[in-house]
């Protein structure tokens, strides 16, 4: 009797066994790829805009400024509007004057130099310099910058830096 029952239930056991074996393992969550877990560090460094160049650098640094000052002094010596004021500026005095001019231009354009000369009021005291002479000297400087191949934008920036010195340098309102 028991054997008959077992025989009758055999197909059911067989069915359960097949079902248990065929049951699939749940799929494992895949490991995230390294690229997906990398921390976002912002844009790559090469995408960052370079810092703007100082006016000093755009003038060609100390070498560029020296070239401008050499030409400027030549122009001043040939300019009848201003050259009488410089008749005694020769030899070591001329060298010191050029160094002071170069240091001043380096400093006002953002360079590493320190101007160690007199302040503009004391340096020009008693010279009775007129607006016309100031303008003539600025033209001599512009001419020198053009000769030294300084760009138009840089020439304008240099002149703008020196323009405020007019009120300390000009004493005479007389047009010469």
Binding footprint of ligand HEM on the chain (CB under 6 A)? 82, 85-86, 88-89, 93, 97, 100-101, 104, 117-118, 123-124, 127, 129, 133-134, 137-138, 162, 165, 169
Residue 20 or 68: the one with the smaller Cβ distance to ligand HEM is: 68
Tokens of 100: 């002071």
Task: Quote the CA–CA distance of 164 and 134 in Å, as a whole number.
Answer: 12
List, as own/partner pairs, every contact residues 123-129 make where C-beta atoms lie below 8 angstroms and the sequence separation is at least 24, other chains included.
124/168, 124/169, 124/171, 125/171, 126/171, 127/85, 127/171, 128/171, 128/172, 128/174, 129/85, 129/169, 129/170, 129/171, 129/172
Tokens of 175: 């047009």
Residue 54 or 172: the one with the smaller Cβ distance to ligand HEM is: 172
CB of 83 to ligand HEM, least distance (A): 8
CB of 70 to ligand HEM, least distance (A): 15
CB of 138 to ligand HEM, least distance (A): 6
Residue 61 or 125: the one with the smaller Cβ distance to ligand HEM is: 125
Q: Which residue is nearest to ligand HEM (CB)?
A: 117
């Amino acid at each position: 009797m028991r054997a008959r029952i077992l025989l009758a239930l055999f197909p059911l056991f067989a069915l359960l066994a097949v079902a248990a074996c065929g049951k699939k393992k749940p799929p494992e969550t895949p490991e995230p790829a390294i690229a997906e877990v990398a921390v976002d560090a912002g844009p790559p460094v090469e995408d960052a805009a370079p810092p703007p160049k100082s006016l000093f650098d755009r003038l060609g640094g100390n070498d560029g400024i020296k070239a401008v000052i050499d030409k400027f002094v030549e122009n001043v010596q040939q300019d009848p509007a201003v050259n009488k004021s410089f008749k005694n500026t020769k030899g070591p005095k001329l060298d010191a004057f050029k160094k002071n001019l170069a240091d001043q231009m380096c400093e006002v354009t953002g360079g590493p130099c320190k101007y160690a000369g007199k302040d503009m009021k004391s340096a020009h005291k008693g010279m009775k310099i007129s607006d016309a002479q100031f303008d003539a000297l600025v033209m001599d400087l512009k001419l020198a910058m053009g000769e030294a191949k300084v760009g138009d934008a840089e020439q304008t920036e240099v002149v703008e830096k020196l323009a405020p010195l007019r009120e300390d340098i000009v004493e005479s309102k007389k047009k010469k």
